[in-house]
Structure 1
């Protein structure tokens, strides 16, 4: 399989039930946006993805990169960081403040938000209320990523991982570790067979 690093520019289509998504992404070396398809639910515009998959020519839609697996990586360029922060993913930061924050901190922006968020007060026009909103939203996004990454290690699709997070919130890891079979009762679309497969990968004895 091939690897493709890209920045999500916009979401063309997403199926919330099975996670199938069609995204337009920016790829270094390509003048036009590339079509990326696969199980990419809960991936917002502005995200930087490292995808594995293959190119395919669709009779109707043309050249596409079919993603088999992916991981989100933090953007490393000022363009990517500004796009990521301005996507609406982090409450309190829209395109305007994303531009101001990146202008102030450059490529160190993500590290500063992660480790020393109070430095946002150095950005003109950002008050206490906005910084607290950004802090709260950033922590929530970390919780989502932690739960999703944990579940993907046990073969849980992105679509189901998103449903599990919506059901349990940041306690998702704890709930699944405690009893993976509860997923069959609590999460629509996950039956006993799927829950048993997850449990088996986690080292539980088969029921």
Structure 2
């Protein structure tokens, strides 16, 4: 009888969890955010009339940004039904107003007025154009931008994208946003490439990351300890 019970428990423990679903929504309000591990509790609007509570880890949160969340609905004993997500993918805004707001929000030294002028010149796909070919900022109609402002736009857009990707790869229990910040400070926009290629180098190159944490990061990105 004990053997049957043990076998049944093993089957239950190994049973696959519920299939994850993906929802798309706009962050309306941040209820809670832990900057160290990136854990957030958010109010997300999934359509015009339906706001839900969403919980999970994400690197950067700005109210008004739209995300694609992957996870499951769960019933919290104290706080009721909420969407627990394992991934949060930022959706770049569409429409001139949305693109200008996003650009002014992530770039130091460029306010909304200048961001709107940039979008007027480059169009609604301004963000994609700048990331693909930064020289588009040399357009003669963008001469109002200083050299420093152009450099800030290029750097901030790239860093924001890299940091979000890195956090999505490695943030989990024991590996928080503090670790992401340290890696970004050391490797900058090469951070994702380096972590994917050899996460164990972090133990040697990044202060505060020992072998144990580097091993956790390696597992997160799917690198085995004996990989060449």
Cα displacement string for residues 87-125 of structure 1 (whole angstroms, at most 9, x for unaligned residues)? 2x2223333333333344442222232224325652585
Deviation (angstroms), 1:86: 3.1
Q: TM-score, normalised by structure 2?
A: 0.64
Summarize the alignment of residues 46-195 of structure 1 with structure 2, pairs less than 5 Å apart: 47-56=65-74, 64-87=82-105, 89-114=106-131, 115=133, 116-118=135-137, 122-123=141-142, 125-145=144-164, 147-148=166-167, 151-152=169-170, 159=177, 162-170=180-188, 171-172=190-191, 173-174=193-194, 177-178=197-198, 180=200, 182-183=202-203, 186=206, 188=208, 192-195=211-214
Deviation (angstroms), 1:20: 1.0
2:141 and 2:187 map into 1 onto residues whose CA distance is 32
Q: In the alignment, is the contact (CA less than 8 A) between 2:97 and 2:116 conserved in 1?
A: no
| Unmatched tracts of structure 2, length 5 or more | 1-19
Which structure has the bigger radius of gyration? 2
**Size of the alignment, in residue pairs?**
202
Q: Secondary structure at the match of 2:125?
A: helix
What value does the CA root-mean-square deviation take over the aligned residues?
Answer: 4.0
1:18 and 1:155 map into 2 onto residues whose CA distance is 8
1:98 and 1:35 map into 2 onto residues whose CA distance is 32
| Unmatched tracts of structure 1, length 5 or more | none
Q: Secondary structure at the match of 1:130?
A: helix
1:93 and 1:45 map into 2 onto residues whose CA distance is 19
1:96 and 1:162 map into 2 onto residues whose CA distance is 32
1:186 and 1:166 map into 2 onto residues whose CA distance is 10
- When structure 1 is superposed on structure 2, of 122-131 and 107-116 the one drifting more is 122-131
**In structure 1, what is the equivalent of residue 225 of structure 2?**
204
2:78 and 2:101 map into 1 onto residues whose CA distance is 30
